[in-house]
Amino acid sequence: MTVPFRTFPNGAAVPFGEVPRLEATAFLQAIIDATDRGWRVSSYFGIPTESGATLCCVLSSAADGVIGVATADAVGAFPSIARLVPQVQLFEREIAEQCGIPAEGHPWFKPVRFHRSFVPGRDAWGRAPDDPILPGVMEFYRVEGEEVHEVAVGPVHAGIIEPGHFRFQCHGEEVFHLEISLGYQHRGVERGLAGGPDPRTPFRMETIAGDTTIGHMQAYCMVMEALAGVQVPTRAEALRGIALELERLANHTGDLGAIAGDVGYLPTSSFCGRIRGDFLTMTAVLCGSRFGRGLLRPGGVLFDLGEAERDDLLARLAAARTDLENAVELLWSTPSVMSRLENTGTVSADTARDLGLVGPAARACGLDRDVRRDHPFGIYRTAPVPLVTAHHGDVCARTTVRWQEAVKSLDFIHDQLRYLPEGGCRGEAGNLQGNRVAVALTEGWRGEICHVAITDHAGRFLRYKVTDPSFHNWQGLAMALRGEQISDFPLCNKSFNLSYCGFDL
Amino acid sequence: MLRAIIARLKQGHRTMAYPKEPVHLPERFRGYPEFTPGAERAGGDACAAACPHGAISCDGGIVLDMGRCLFCPECTAGEFVRFTTDHRLAATRREQLVVRPGGERHLAHPLEPGLRSLIGRSLKFREVSAGGCNACEADTNVLSTIGWDLGRFGIQFVASPRHADGLWVTGPVTENMREALLMTWEAIPGPKIVVACGACAIGGGPFAGSPEAHDGVDGILPVDLYIPGCPPHPAAILDGLLRLIGRIEGE
Ligand code: SF4
């Protein structure tokens, strides 16, 4: 199949000059055609220019295992294709907000993170440079009618969680529509990365989303390694894989507990809360940090694993496995729990496909997409992890998928620890090549993470684009609430457990 | 029901004995920092250059500011600083986070007696996440799990600021959260305290200098307890809290 993109495998860099620069209409048509044929939009962003932006679309094809990139120039504005390709609706709003040019014909044209554009004085909504830009200040969707009421929650919520604003349009208990407005955690990550890398860059990468430190660092390392042509030792790849699966285990365990807690089933909730900590401690055995800070660096890993630590980890893993199985089995054998999980917060496969959902949320709807299999990277090239799907797209499906994935991760880590390749842990990093585009996809525990770096002639970042899985998936949560009881929101929310900071950047 | 009881027996009692008994932290855990003799030999400038976050400086002798430190492995690679596994990092005043070679050790002080008798046995916090990466929130949440069981000390995180004695701040305070933070602070009845949890809340952490954030809560609200770390280990958080309410004193 010929596509008007420059295609290459995951974790590669190509000269930016080889990326087709299409005429705007052809570019948009190419995105429409590709998504019709099952390609996904992994990232879509703008590089601001004097007259507008250079639009850059990164698509991925699971069937072909390739990534495709194309660009086009937009002057003053760009046409929206969100009505035809719903999965780009948020990307288009992001481009508008960052580059200061409107997406013409966008059905839902509002700010995403509530900040000024990258170009001083230019604003997609025509706001004056001295107008304050306040988060959550915009036109919300409204349902009219005598018996309709609106419930607004946040930004500060009841628990120890990140800020966000949620508006429910309700008819009695039933939710007609939920609108989610974020941006409160916006701390200028992407803007701060331009001109890099510098010594602080890895730390910003590790803190894009704290619970996904390894997932984002793996993507950053792949980008850097592609640009510098570094060969990563197999032992380092294995250690990265172990860390990534530990991250998945810790978070899935925490979520299984939180889901149990939200249906009022306290045994699993309290056991899992503790077992999650056991997985975090395993990551700390690897590198001293429960979140894997400082473990991955371009070229490899900073900490090797000694015999003593390896044995320690194997013992901890076996103990945590027993505890986790014991805690989670309770859910399946408690009918009152199952009846709360089943048919709650359902997302259909078609909706999931249209919105471009990723990770467990997509797999729970029966979409078999997983970067570890579709675009294998690092250790997964030689040690695949079996993919898990479910079919109902409800809370129960998302819970089951998490549990089964956790089991696969336990097996994977065990095998990797047992048969850890010999050799060094860090390859020599060279200089970054200039005028290149590098793309890395990884499968974080929430789903596909996409990092794109475009370098200038001196090898500095002209643009560094980060797409957290939450960017695709928040819309899925909004859809899951349609027709539900508003009191089911916490449960639906936990079953997705999306990142605010990863989205807000 | 029977299954749940059997599971409970299998899982056992898991609440740690701390503070009666010490916490066990992995060998590679990076706690309270010490300068190596190499640091003085290498001179301040080389050490300062080893830290990408400006935590090490050498104005009148070499110092490490734990408020800016991310406890990353970078400077240990340069062999100037060594991290012990000592988790006691929290301090009462900002300048007490500064570590000097052979300098005095500062641990967090208890609240002044009046306040302590008022809230020392039942301390409630309203948490506001104001930017950052959510790791501080995650490790604060851990304290409420059965392993740590914060409730046994009378400390709790509550839903409403009206029920709170203090504000718990994480994150560098993004511009988009500044107003919500101040409104929450105002809604807490006095007398009230503020805890800055983590490198971001103390000085901006990895986001220091970002035009979209405010480099921490210092300067916006008066801080009563600083807990360094990126994120702070739950043990570091608990140590600070227990010192604040006078449950642990001295070394
Ligand atoms: S640990 Fe990291 S942040 Fe702290 S002083 Fe060393 S280099 Fe700086």
Q: Which atom of ligand 1 is nearest to the CA of B56?
A: 5
Grouping H, G, I as helix, E, B as strand and the rest as coil, residue B213 is strand
Q: Verify whether the Cβ–Cβ distance A159 to B157 is below 8 Å.
A: yes
Residue-level pLDDT at A56: 97
What is the distance in angstroms between the Cα of B92 and the nearest Cα belonging to chain A? 23
As given in the structure block, the two tokens for residue B55 are 């935590």
Say how far apart CA A144 and CA A150 lie, in whole Å.
10
Q: Where are the domains of chain A?
A: 1-112, 201-468
Residues with C-beta less than 6 Å from any ligand 1 atom: B 50-51, 53, 55-56, 64, 69-72, 74-75, 81
- The better pLDDT of the pair A112, B118 is held by A112
pLDDT digit string (tens) for B21-71? 888 888 899 999 998 887 777 766 777 777 888 888 887 778 889 999 999
Which of B69, B76, B79, B83 is the best mutation target for the ligand 1 pocket, counting ligand atoms within 8 Å of the beta carbon and taking the most? B69
Interface test with A, best of B134, B142, B158, B182 (most A CBs within 10 A): B134
What are phi and psi for residue A322, nearest 5 degrees?
-55, -50
As given in the structure block, the two tokens for residue A250 are 């810790």
Instruction: Count how many pairs of residues, chain A against chain B, have C-beta atoms within 8 Å.
Output: 190
Say how far apart CA A245 and CA B41 lie, in whole Å.
42
pLDDT confidence of B200, banded at 50, 70, 90?
very high
Residue given tokens 């008798």 in the structure block: B117
Q: Verify whether the Cβ–Cβ distance A163 to B130 is below 8 Å.
A: yes
Could you tell me which of A408, A405, A407 has the C-alpha nearest to residue A364? A405
Say how far apart CA A469 and CA A357 lie, in whole Å.
8
Distance from Cα B64 to the centre of ligand 1, integer Å = 8
Which of B81, B84, B97, B202 is the best mutation target for the ligand 1 pocket, counting ligand atoms within 8 Å of the beta carbon and taking the most? B81
Residues of chain A with pLDDT under 70: 1-2
Residue-level pLDDT at B44: 63
pLDDT digit string (tens) for A463-504? 999 999 999 999 999 999 999 999 999 999 999 999 999 999
Q: DSSP states of A106-165 as a string?
A: -TT---SS----SSTT--TT---TTS---TT-SPPP---STTEEEEEE-SS-SSS----E
Residues B14 and A274 sit within 8 Å (Cβ to Cβ):
yes
Q: Are strands A103-104 and A78-79 parallel, antiparallel or unpaired?
A: parallel
Q: Verify whether the Cβ–Cβ distance B174 to A208 is below 8 Å.
A: no
B-chain residues near A500 (CB < 8 A): 134
Q: Are strands A6-8 and A52-61 parallel, antiparallel or unpaired?
A: unpaired
Q: Which atom of ligand 1 is nearest to the CA of B65?
A: 5
Q: Which atom of ligand 1 is nearest to the CA of B64?
A: 5
Could you tell me which of A373, A378, A355 has the C-alpha nearest to residue A299? A378
What are phi and psi for residue B187, nearest 5 degrees?
-75, -15
Considering only CA atoms, which residue is closest to atom 2 of ligand 1?
Answer: B72
Say how far apart CA A495 and CA B167 lie, in whole Å.
29
- A487 burial (CB, 10 Å; 0-12 / 13-18 / 19+) is exposed
Domains of chain B (ranges; CATH) run 113-245 (3.40.50.12280)
Average of per-residue pLDDT across B114-126: 87
Cα Rg of chain B, angstroms: 19
ipTM: 0.93
| Average model confidence (pLDDT) across chain B | 89
As given in the structure block, the two tokens for residue A414 are 């065990």
Q: Verify whether the Cβ–Cβ distance B159 to A198 is below 8 Å.
A: no
Say how far apart CA A208 and CA A196 lie, in whole Å.
16
Residue-level pLDDT at A196: 86
Say how far apart CA B22 and CA B217 lie, in whole Å.
31
Q: Are strands B56-57 and B63-65 parallel, antiparallel or unpaired?
A: antiparallel
CB-closest option in B26, B74, B207 to A187: B207
Amino acid at B251: E
Residue-level pLDDT at A266: 86
Q: Verify whether the Cβ–Cβ distance A270 to B146 is below 8 Å.
A: yes
Residue-level pLDDT at B94: 93
pTM for the whole structure: 0.95
Task: Name the CATH code of domain A201-468 (choices 1.10.645.10, 3.40.50.150, 3.30.450.20, 3.30.2350.10).
Answer: 1.10.645.10
As given in the structure block, the two tokens for residue B186 are 């105002």
Q: Verify whether the Cβ–Cβ distance A184 to B180 is below 8 Å.
A: yes
A-chain residues near B28 (CB < 8 A): 284-288, 303
Residue-level pLDDT at B48: 77
pLDDT digit string (tens) for B146-196? 888 888 899 999 999 999 999 999 999 999 999 999 999 999 998 999 999
Residue-level pLDDT at A173: 86
**In this model, does residue B230 exceed pLDDT 80?**
yes
Distance from Cα A83 to the centre of ligand 1, integer Å = 49
Amino acid at B143: L
Domain A1-112 has CATH 1.20.1090.10: no
Q: Which residue in A has a C-alpha nearest to residue B24's C-alpha?
A: A281
- The better pLDDT of the pair A317, B119 is held by A317
Q: DSSP states of A479-496 as a string?
A: HHTTTSBGGGHHHHHHHH
b/e burial code for range B88-119 (CB count within 10 A of at least 16 → b): bbbbbebebbbbeeeeeebbbbbbeeebeeeb
Residue-level pLDDT at B76: 79
Q: How long is chain A?
A: 505
Could you tell me which of A266, A296, A299 has the C-alpha nearest to residue A283? A296
As given in the structure block, the two tokens for residue B152 are 């046994």
Residue-level pLDDT at B43: 65
CB-closest option in B29, B128, B174 to A187: B174
Residue-level pLDDT at A360: 96
